[in-house]
């Protein structure tokens, strides 16, 4: 089997003394993917006999197995220890404003099954929870043995999440949810831990572990969907701010005389670039633009997805709507670059599929408005994980928690 490129999250916690050696050993083997007992004892700075004892305990958990022969260094060829990525599965849920997507992944972020359905998430909390369960069940049914191997559920929500009390939800963004996720029912149904974080934060986590943010300590991920949010990766960690509300770039005002926004402000970025703004602008353009009647969008029930598809089909009106949005996004990103000086800006969410049609006008605006050179502006790129990124990030939330606290693995308890 060919090994995947190892992810680049925080290195094995050599500095994290005080953690049980068995936990450090498991984490080290996960990061190495394959490692000999000798290398493991060197990495953990323990004797060969201590390493051997740790390994025999880990072999009993089935999270680690012995495989093949490693390269010989003159003597006997060593047996390698391999982390068993398929010993458990994780459900990663992307709860958007207007859709639910669920990814079933293994313990290395590989998507084994995928389900997605449009749903009025903001208006219908009960229906949304039922849909998450239905899509989760369908994903688990796709993979033999998955139901009994489920390790946990990660959920990405389109609202700020209080890190200390993640079961609460911001009532400003999702008023119908009345400030609570109600995910306890899902946790009880599956009998596994359920973890929650903000969707843009999890998009950033996914890019850092498996995508365009690998090896980059400081970057900003921007989710372009119905809502606009940013995940700020600072020194390899998500920066949350004093009250967990950092990254709400969608509500940065770029025009004080602009249209009113749900947040009470005027001219927020989301009123120019969010899904609803794109639809409003396309409708207006169809009426005002002399080319309107010839557009692919004429006579359609316009959705953001339809605008993106028409732009990809080179429809001039749809391309103008996208270009206009890109320029407005550029104004906000220019401010972000001047303020944070990130190593990269990674665009995710459905609009990211527009690629250069989005990036080229956006970079033009950024170069005109920042102190940085055009070279730095080219570090604005689209997600490598595509529309599945946020669900993969939700699964990674559970994986990261289990590597940090291996007692989440049933076989590591007691
Ligand atoms: Zn706003």
Ligand 1 centroid distance, CA of 229 (Å): 11
Count of other CB atoms within 10 angstroms of residue 314: 10
pLDDT at 12 over 50: no
Q: How confident is the model at residue 15 (pLDDT cuts 50, 70, 90)?
A: low
User: Ligand 1 centre and the CA of 252: distance in Å?
Assistant: 7
In the reported structure, the alpha carbon of residue 156 is separated from the centroid of ligand 1 by a whole-number distance in angstroms of 21
Give the per-residue pLDDT at 234. 95
Is pLDDT at 375 greater than 90 in this prediction? Answer: no
pLDDT of residue 291: 83
82 Cα to the center of ligand 1, angstroms? 49
Q: Where residue 9 falls among pLDDT bands split at 50, 70, 90?
A: very low
* pLDDT reading at 409 higher than 80: yes
- Per DSSP bridges, beta strands 219-224 and 344-348 are parallel
Domains of the chain (ranges, CATH numbers): 21-83 (1.10.10.10), 89-204+389-412 (3.30.420.40), 214-384 (3.30.420.40)
Q: What confidence score (pLDDT) does residue 7 get?
A: 55
pLDDT tens readout for residues 195-238: 999 999 999 999 999 999 999 999 999 999 888 999 999 999 99
Comparing C-alpha atoms, which of 21, 23, 22, 43 is closest to residue 32?
43
Ligand 1 center to residue 282 CA distance, Å?
21
Q: Does the structure show a pLDDT above 90 at 102?
A: yes
- 263 CA to centre of ligand 1 in angstroms: 4
Whether the predicted pLDDT of 276 surpasses 50: yes
Give me the percent of the chain exceeding a pLDDT of 70: 92
What is the number of alpha carbons within 13 Å of residue 312 lying toward its C-beta?
Answer: 12
Instruction: Give the distance (Å) from ligand 1 centre to CA of residue 255.
Output: 11
- Cα–Cα distance, 114 to 92 (Å, whole number): 10
Side-chain-facing half-sphere of 86: CA atoms under 13 Å:
6
Average pLDDT, the chain: 90
> If you measure from the C-alpha of residue 350 to the centroid of ligand 1, how many angstroms do you get, rounded to a whole number?
20
Cα 396 to ligand 1 centroid, rounded to whole Å: 29
Confidence band of 1 (pLDDT split at 50, 70, 90)? very low
Q: Using the predicted structure, report yes or no on whether residue 243 has a pLDDT greater than 50.
A: yes
């Amino acid at each position: 089997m060919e090994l995947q490129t190892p992810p680049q999250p925080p290195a094995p916690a050599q500095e994290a003394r005080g953690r049980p050696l068995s936990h450090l050993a498991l984490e080290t083997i996960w990061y190495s993917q394959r490692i000999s007992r000798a290398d493991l004892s060197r990495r953990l700075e323990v004797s060969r006999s201590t390493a051997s004892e740790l390994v025999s305990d880990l072999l009993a958990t089935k999270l680690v197995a012995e495989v093949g022969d490693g390269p010989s260094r003159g003597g006997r060829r060593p047996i390698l220890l391999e982390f068993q990525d398929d010993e458990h599965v994780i459900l990663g849920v992307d709860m958007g404003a207007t859709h639910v997507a669920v990814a079933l992944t293994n313990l290395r972020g590989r998507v084994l099954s995928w389900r997605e359905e449009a749903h009025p998430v903001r208006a219908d909390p009960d229906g949304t929870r039922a849909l998450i369960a239905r899509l989760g069940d369908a994903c688990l049914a796709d993979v033999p043995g998955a139901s009994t191997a489920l390790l946990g559920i990660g959920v990405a929500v389109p609202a700020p999440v209080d890190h200390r009390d993640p079961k609460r939800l911001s009532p400003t963004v999702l008023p119908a949810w009345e400030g609570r996720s109600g995910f306890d029912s899902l946790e009880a149904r599956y009998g596994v831990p359920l973890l929650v974080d903000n969707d843009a934060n999890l998009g950033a986590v996914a890019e850092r572990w498996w995508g365009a943010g690998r090896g980059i300590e400081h970057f900003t991920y921007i989710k372009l969907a119905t809502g606009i949010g940013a995940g700020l990766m600072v020194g390899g960690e998500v920066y949350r701010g004093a009250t967990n509300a950092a990254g709400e770039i969608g509500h940065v005002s770029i025009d004080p005389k602009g249209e009113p926004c749900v947040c009470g402000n005027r001219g927020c970025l989301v009123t120019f670039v969010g899904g609803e703004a794109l639809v409003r602008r396309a409708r207006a353009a169809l009426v005002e633009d002399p080319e309107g009647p010839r557009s692919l969008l004429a006579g359609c029930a316009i959705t953001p997805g339809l605008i993106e598809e028409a732009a990809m089909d080179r429809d001039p009106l749809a391309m103008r709507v996208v270009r206009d949005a890109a320029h407005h996004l550029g104004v906000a990103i220019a401010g972000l670059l001047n303020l944070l000086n990130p190593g990269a800006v990674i665009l995710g969410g459905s609009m990211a599929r527009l690629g250069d049609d989005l990036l080229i006008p956006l970079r033009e605006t950024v170069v005109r408005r920042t102190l940085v050179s055009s070279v730095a502006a080219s570090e604005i790129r689209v997600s490598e994980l595509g529309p599945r990124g946020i669900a993969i990030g939700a699964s990674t939330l559970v994986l990261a928690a289990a590597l940090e606290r291996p007692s989440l693995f049933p076989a590591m308890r007691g």
